[in-house]
Amino acid sequence: MIAEGRLVLAGAPIGQAGDVSPRLREVLGSADIVAAEDTRRLRRLAQDLGVEIAGRVVSYYDQNEAGRAQELLESLKEGRTVVVITDAGMPGVSDPGYRLTSLAVEAGITVTALPGPSAVTTALAVSGLPSDRFCFEGFPPRKPGDRARRLSGLAAEERTMVFFEAPHRLAASLEAMAEAFGAGRPAAVCRELTKTYEEVRRGGLGELAEWAAGGVKGEITVVVAGHVAEAGEVDFDALVAEVDRRVAEGEQRKLAVADVAKEAGIPKRELYDLVHRRSPTT
């Protein structure tokens, strides 16, 4: 009888090799296969840790993920232990890993994780913004129109939001956020977290956009405060966003407007006119 395989999602340090756990050292030295986003970076990490990788090392990145996931699934079915490790952070969180995890779960294969440092929670912790409720929004869309629509849908989000962004697109994204959320919305840009040149820049989105226009380098995580409605204020942005959400899920606009207006206690004609003027779906 073939032993059951096991998929291990290994969290990699986001900057300092010393942040790894003893369990990561152990699994890198004992796994049958180590699937790495960048095999050269993996070998460099292993060297820094003084770990010898005994198993087979294969590449596993965005461009080959679909085909390689099927290969790794077969190895799991044959009873092998497969470790997935990305350049930094947890596999599957804006990095390769989700596709193989989904296949393994569907096949009834054991999936476990070696938790490690995360840029998402690290940035949230040092941002100084509310951390009791938050959402991770990944990378904003690259195209300006798509980005504006995505951010517009988040204008009424009350939770603190965490984004990843490439340094050469940071200024444009911050400008778009200032347009969607307001230039004064509190935010923090976290650069090179845990590394030698770590920097956390805090301020309003408009101020941060001006700063980023001068050019920024390194790994970037952006944390943005959620929307806060003033006491007694009718939050029309939130109402429009709720209508847009319902319409996107297939509900008729007229019915969505009527329901949302009734719940908010305002005339449905007032909300309909506002939706008609401001909704990105028109």
Please return the burial class of 193, using the count of CB atoms within 10 Å of its CB with bins 0-12, 13-18 and 19+.
buried
pLDDT tens-digit profile of 27-69?
Answer: 999 999 999 999 999 999 999 989 999 899 999 998 999 899 9
Residue 278: its pLDDT value, please? 64
For residues 135 and 258, which has the higher predicted lDDT (pLDDT)? 135
**Model confidence at 261, in pLDDT bands (50, 70, 90)?**
confident
pLDDT tens-digit profile of 115-133?
Answer: 888 999 999 999 999 999 9
Distances (CA, A) of 145 to 148, 150, 177, 276: 5, 9, 13, 19
Residue 1: its pLDDT value, please? 45
Residue 238: its pLDDT value, please? 82
Tokens of 221: 């995580």
Residue 3: its pLDDT value, please? 66
Residue 274: its pLDDT value, please? 79
> What is the average pLDDT value for the chain, to the nearest integer?
90
pLDDT tens-digit profile of 75-104?
Answer: 999 999 999 999 999 998 888 999 999 999
- Say what the pTM is: 0.77
Asked if the model's pLDDT at residue 201 lies above 90, the reply is: yes
Residue 2: its pLDDT value, please? 56
**Model confidence at 242, in pLDDT bands (50, 70, 90)?**
confident
**Model confidence at 282, in pLDDT bands (50, 70, 90)?**
very low
In the 8-state DSSP scheme, what is residue 27? H
Distances (CA, A) of 239 to 36, 155, 263, 266: 44, 11, 10, 10
Residue 206: its pLDDT value, please? 95
* 257-266 as b/e: b if 16+ CB within 10 A: beebbeebee
Residue 231: its pLDDT value, please? 53
Asked if the model's pLDDT at residue 171 lies above 90, the reply is: yes
Residue 241: its pLDDT value, please? 86
| Domains of the chain, CATH where assigned | 6-117 (3.40.1010.10), 120-224 (3.30.950.10), 236-278 (no CATH)
**Kind and range of the H or E run holding 137:** strand 134-138
Please return the burial class of 254, using the count of CB atoms within 10 Å of its CB with bins 0-12, 13-18 and 19+.
exposed
Asked if the model's pLDDT at residue 169 lies above 70, the reply is: yes
Q: Where are the alpha helices (DSSP H) in the chain?
A: 22-30, 39-49, 65-77, 98-106, 119-127, 144-152, 170-181, 205-212, 236-248, 253-264, 268-278
Residue 186: its pLDDT value, please? 96
**Model confidence at 260, in pLDDT bands (50, 70, 90)?**
confident
Tokens of 263: 């719940």
Instruction: Give percent of the chain with pLDDT exceeding 90.
Output: 68
